[in-house]
Chain A
Amino acid sequence: MHVIDIDGRGAVEGLKGIRVLDFTWAGAGPLAMALIRMMGAEVVKVESATRPDMARAMARLYGWSTENSLDRSPSFNDLGAEKLSVTLDLRQPKAREIAQRLAARADVICDNMRPGKMETLGLGYEQVSKVNPRVVCCSISATGRLDPGNDLDIPGYAPVFWAEGGGGSVTGWPEGGPSYLRSPVDLNAGTMACVGILAALHARLTTGRGAFIDCSAIETVVAAVGDELMAASLGLPAGGVRGNERLPYAPNDAFPCKGKDQWVAISIHDNTQWRSMCEVLGATELAADMALLSREGRWKRRNELYAPIAALTATWDALTLEEALQARGVPAAQSKSLRTLFGDEALNARGFWKLLKHPLMEDQKVGALAWNLMPPMPEPDRGGALLGEHNAQVLEEWLGIGHAEFEQLKAQNLFV
């Protein structure tokens, strides 16, 4: 990570000095820790060859390929960028003791294990805060902690959170049934967890005390459909699988463009936008239809509008059409694929993409923070750590364990 001094007044070092112990391993937690790291904190991942960050083994777990190396995952290289890696076999008491000593020196501890797991390792908030009252602990799970005696246990990933929180029932086409989102669900939970961590750190500046963030991934989904849930609670029709149909826009849909699976989304609200769209597309018949010069007229005929508009958009390049419509004040966006976005003009202009180095893989383009700060934040330049790459470094810097003692511990097979 390198800092940038733009005007000779010193560089922003962000969260430098904040030490984070990261037991997260699946999606949400690693993203929360990536955000904290990108803001400058030191993040030490605690993992092992038998329980690595899931992103290290993603290709094999999802069945994309037979790649078995835990050090050659592009997903981990991105999510794990600039984090340090310590391998501890937490099944062994001595390794747990080391983890607890590290925890005693941490400002932030984060996990996304099922509720209770950290406590069995002696790493729960109540345990750690006895020796480290300033610690901020964040635990991300499907439901969060429930009442004692409530034995509901929902193990889960994104499709579970999305389903239980109501997201599935408001996404998809009627003919296709409810649909799921993948990465955004997990990583939104991580973003929300980061909100809690930063708020707790902020409060600590005043109180001197830490806090526990018991983040429910399902609740983070509920928050994203809150307006529709409010409507449902009032007994109003709400939600439902309804494709792109949304009041007050008509048309409001994805229209085909030239090429395979190329689309542009267009939303029309008022007559000015409608006329402009018709002019850009050369839709003379639609423009001449006086009944369509009202919101009500377009809404009532929204379904029959799709085909004639689609016939015209199909002759356009999607990006060219997006630009032509936006230039006329019409809400429009190419339905951009992830690969297309690596070359997106707006993202490149703001310096969003960074090139990371990795010892075993080619240079990789990854997204930085979604926000630019002026004066600028430090920028990442190093990819994800090799498994256990920083065992000796972290034990020395955090615990003062020297070379000889480290070798003794290593001989006990604690670092695997």
Chain B
Amino acid sequence: MNVAASPAAPAATLGTAPTPVAALPMAGTTILELGASTAGQFAGRLLASLGARVIKIEPLGGEPERRGPDMVRDCNGRQRSLAFEYLNAGKQSIAIDLDDGFLAEFILKFSAPDAVILSSPKYAPRVPAAFEGVLAKVGPYGEAHNHGDPPTTPLTRYQAGGDGSLIPPGPEPTLRPTFPGTLVGDCFAGAGAAVSILGTLYMKKTDARLKSEPQPAIDFSQQAHLLMIQKLFLGRVWGEKMELTRANNRYAFGGAVKCKDGFVSMLVLEEHQWKGLCTAMGRKEWLTDPRFATGTTRWENQAVIQAGLEAWCGTRSVADVLAATRALSVPIGHIATLPEVLQKEYLRERGYLQEAESDLGRIVTMGLPFGRDPMWQGAHAVLAPGAGEHTAAILRGLARSDADIELLERLGVVQCM
């Protein structure tokens, strides 16, 4: 029995008990995940953290993503994908032969106005038309793509959304386009998909037209969402008829700057921040230098500022740079490695990072980034369920007898763990 994978297994807390599921905002809502994309799975994780009951409907043997990198062996000798564990923590799992008519029967058992099928364009046709709930199709390109549902990877999905052409920024684009941490783009899109589902669920209860619509359908495009979160600069690209590239998609100065023992990252926009930076660097003469009088002239003379900044930071530790600049309200951060992120007290103080025992060992878990209101403080999910871990329990909840369940398993229709 994989105790750590149970949604009920709480992480260590701050001394206060986690809020019971029934008091969480999405309690009472059921989400069925059927062939969800990576972004869809992150949306499901968020909804589970908000109290929804999220059931993964997996093929017999489990979803192929269970074998995705990086694989880690647990205390039972089982290989587990960390990406899968992260994306699917807090959910339940039932394993079904997806080509058998039992799938439609199962889905219809959950038909309700506030139920959701979280799927992909590829799997959505398997959802029966009689299902009365929200059908959310989350895909890399949405439904309207000339090659249907083409195979994608984290790299290709990110490049399709525009931002890949902009990183890494640098004065000369000598480095080819890249992408951030493996799941970053998918998690960005998953948050957008969660918005689409939450918005539709709310409107289904309040909007006269949607109340009468048996199966409202969401067609979510990851590519479109990655563009949505470019809105700070899309207007400039359109308005100035210009092209944003890795060469000009950068700050006039600042960005990542090397210190003696690491990097800091900064952006100075407002005059009081500029004043603070000059003061911290001991360059008060810059405050009256006409070359640096406005944002525009600072852009024109960015090389001078950057050189001064790098010289100043390069002889100091990260801690010294942060102390000197933050005291003067300069927006600056420490480019933290992941082990350093784990040590940040302010992330633990709010209960966002917690530690728990799991089948993989002592592990850090993440909650919701919304603070301490009990509404956001449900038990942290630790690991994903095993494939079919909840098959029997879910079917019993649907009034199926143990004999029924055994027969379904012998017929190869379902799989229990």
Q: Do A and B come from one complex?
A: yes
A78 close to chain B: CB less than 8 A: yes
A357 to chain B, nearest CB (A): 14
Residue of A nearest to B244 (CB): A338
Expressed in whole angstroms, the Cα–Cα distance for A263 and B206 within the complex equals 46
Supposing A196-B376, A202-B198 touch, asked if A265 and B369 sit within 8 A by C-beta, the answer is no
What residues of chain A lie closer than 8 Å to B353, measured between beta carbons? Answer: 222
Given A216-B371, A371-B220, CB of A60 within 8 Å of CB of B177: no
Contact B229 A184 (CB under 8 A): yes
What's the minimum C-beta distance from B7 to chain A, rounded to whole angstroms? 17
Judge whether A341 and B245 touch: CB under 8 Å: no
Judged by a CB distance under 8 angstroms, whether B37 is at the interface is no
Do A171 and B180 touch (CB < 8 A)? Answer: yes
- On whether the beta carbons of B369 and A144 are closer than 8 Å, the reply is yes
Whether A166 and B336, one on each chain, are in contact in the complex, defined by CB atoms closer than 8 angstroms, is yes
Within 8 A of B (CB), among A95-121: none
B69 and A161: CB pair below 8 A? no
| A333 to B185 alpha-carbon distance, docked (Å) | 14
* Residue B61 at the chain A interface, CB threshold 8 Å: no
* Complex interface: stretch among B93-101, B251-259, B388-396, B406-414: B251-259
Which of A73, A163, A199, A333 has most chain B Cβ within 10 Å? A199
Residue A158 at the B interface, CB < 8 A? yes
Which B residues are CB-close (under 8 A) to A178? 256, 263, 265, 335
Chain B residue numbers with a CB within 8 Å of A269 are: 153
Q: Are B201 and A202 in contact (CB under 8 A)?
A: yes
Interface of A is mostly: mixed
B29 nearest CB across to chain A (Å)? 8
Q: Mark B84-97, 1 if CB is under 8 A from A, else 0.
A: 01110000000000
Please determine whether B235 and A77 come into contact, CB atoms closer than 8 angstroms: yes
In the complex, whether A155 has a CB less than 8 A from a CB of chain B is yes
Is A49 interfacial (CB 8 A cutoff)? no
Q: Which of B104-112, B125-133, B188-196, B282-290 contacts A (4 or more CB under 8 A)?
A: B188-196
Return the contact of B87 from the options A173, A211, A227, A261 (Cβ within 8 A): A227
Q: CB within 8 A of B235: which of A73, A147, A216?
A: A73
Instruction: Please give me the 10 A-B residue pairs with the lowest Cβ-Cβ distance, nearest first.
Output: A214-B371, A63-B299, A74-B239, A74-B235, A219-B369, A160-B333, A233-B364, A163-B333, A170-B181, A187-B229
Q: What are 18 A-B interface contacts by the 8 Å CB criterion?
A: A13-B207, A13-B209, A60-B294, A63-B296, A77-B239, A150-B346, A160-B331, A160-B332, A167-B180, A183-B231, A202-B25, A222-B369, A228-B182, A252-B153, A337-B245, A364-B235, A370-B224, A371-B193
Interface contacts beyond A63-B297, A329-B150: sample of 5 additional A-B pairs, CB < 8 Å, sorted by A: A62-B252, A169-B337, A191-B195, A214-B373, A219-B366
